[in-house]
A and B are shown apart, each in its own frame.
Chain A
């Protein structure tokens, strides 16, 4: 029974997407509650699977019981269940927010289409994380790129169309490069199953090095384009800024992280640390990450549109995760996954609270934040906590990940990266603190100087507050999450 649960997850998400258009649009509350129920069920199953694999061990799901050499295979291990648990928790909270703020640029009659896209998006993310087959990953990645592009272009604005078009073109170059890498690996190994490719690469590495070097080049470029790793980030700010607020949060906090996790799987499950260090790839990845951290922050300082600023800040934060991956050590990889969690939570709070301000003020310029702290103290308080996390102030989860990243780079013999971490903390302060100062210390046009209750729906505030509590909670008690992450990292040979 338990081994059927992963496929139940996938089918529930896919079937809900198919069922939504059947309901009458007048009774939209019913559709929303149905969606919420399905998300809750999938969340419970994900939590149960996380508990199950951590106590009983990993298991496989084989479609039609074919041999993995020719069939498809899902691998349910501590790593995949941990990431799916994170995806579902974030999306569940963002869904609650989106029920009130779906008005952000989407026509009333198109609300149901937004939720259809959201469910297919979730389905493909679950598929990417669960599947243990390189070609199957490609198919799920293409489903994910079509749905992310459509969730951007669902807003009927000029900018959304051009941003989505640029995104779909770069995404497609990325997917096809990845597929070329898969073809080159298939040429020398004869498998697409990740574990079998990994095993046969150990012997093939000696006889066909050209194919393997070309394949990893194509794959790094392909995944890098999709995960917005620094030189390939150009699509990200436009795309994430023009999307509706709730989907910006999903795109920035979850979708990009899914691609980074594919990156981790390819590096450490397909290739393995021996081939990587022989090719000197970890050092290159670390340098790319470090440049991304600094340049992303510099670009963010120059923006006067808040959502674009948050987009560039994501580029910088992805740099941290890439540095952690590039350390290629047990601690480095654990910190990378920890930062996936903490950045996911902080960026969600930032995008959602900015979305609440846009809901109230109808503008995205930074100077619209003047005095908004008096009007919306809870929203801006959450923004404040998340911004402190971004800078890396103690008692937030951002501090834990930065501190551990510093420790890991010191331990890995690459201490210069500690200076990059400190410099980036200062740069983050340069672009986050002015917003907070403007919000709490400047006059607002309404001349209101007493704290008043936020005039946004309670369902929009609740997720923001809950995730801010998580940020502080994990900043104070990181050990529980860290144990789960270390258990997940132990499935990789690092």
Chain B
């Protein structure tokens, strides 16, 4: 019963780590380049989720000062949410860059499958 309670108490963190592993598995095992980018996004989301879960306080209020409210309110920590706003921007820009790279790869190789690209590369030497 204790184990179940532990799991329920830390369900945020367990969920974040599970998402991270799913993302990593997608990046490492799939040969489709778009699916790899999706995997990176899942990994990023997992960490953002984790960060925000760290800043959460049970039954805490949003960190906004209410002039008429009581001063006894417990606020959640706003700093992780602010950091993660930056993190989301960063991951979006990485996604955009890698998607544009995939467009170029499709134009030159005619495929977006890593195995087929490797087979094409094997057949020709590098020329400068």
Closest Cβ–Cβ distance, residue B83 to chain A (whole Å) = 5
Q: Interface extent on A, as a size class?
A: 20 to 34
Q: Do B43 and A150 have beta carbons less than 8 Å apart?
A: no
A141-198 with Cβ < 8 A to chain B: 142, 145-146, 149-150, 153, 158-159, 161-162, 164-165, 168-169, 172-173, 176, 179-180, 183, 186-187, 192
Q: Which residues of the partner chain A approach B102 to less than 8 Å between Cβ atoms?
A: 165
Closest Cβ–Cβ distance, residue B72 to chain A (whole Å) = 22
The answer, yes or no, to whether A288 is at the interface (CB within 8 Å) is: no
Known: A173-B24, A180-B50. A159 touches B97 (CB 8 A): no
Q: Do B128 and A364 have beta carbons less than 8 Å apart?
A: yes
- How many angstroms from the CA of A257 to the CA of B86 in the assembled complex? 26
- How many angstroms from the CA of A187 to the CA of B79 in the assembled complex? 12
Q: Do A173 and B43 have beta carbons less than 8 Å apart?
A: yes
Contact of A183 among B51, B90, B93 (CB under 8 A): B51
Known: A146-B94, A172-B94, A186-B51. A180 touches B128 (CB 8 A): no
The answer, yes or no, to whether B22 is at the interface (CB within 8 Å) is: no
* Contacts between chains A and B (CB distance < 8 A), count: 82
Known: A172-B40, A183-B51, A358-B128. A161 touches B101 (CB 8 A): yes
- Which A residues contact B (CB, under 8 angstroms)? 70, 105, 135, 138-139, 142, 145-146, 149-150, 153, 158-159, 161-162, 164-165, 168-169, 172-173, 176, 179-180, 183, 186-187, 192, 242, 305, 358, 362-364
- Which B residues contact A (CB, under 8 angstroms)? 20, 24, 27, 33, 36, 40, 43-44, 47, 50-51, 54, 79-80, 83, 86-87, 90, 93-94, 97-98, 101-102, 104-105, 108-109, 117, 120-121, 126, 128
With A138-B87, A183-B50 already in contact, 20 other A-B pairs whose C-beta atoms are closer than 8 Å: A70-B79, A135-B86, A138-B90, A146-B93, A146-B94, A158-B108, A159-B121, A161-B108, A168-B98, A169-B40, A172-B43, A172-B98, A173-B43, A176-B43, A176-B47, A180-B20, A180-B47, A183-B47, A187-B54, A305-B126
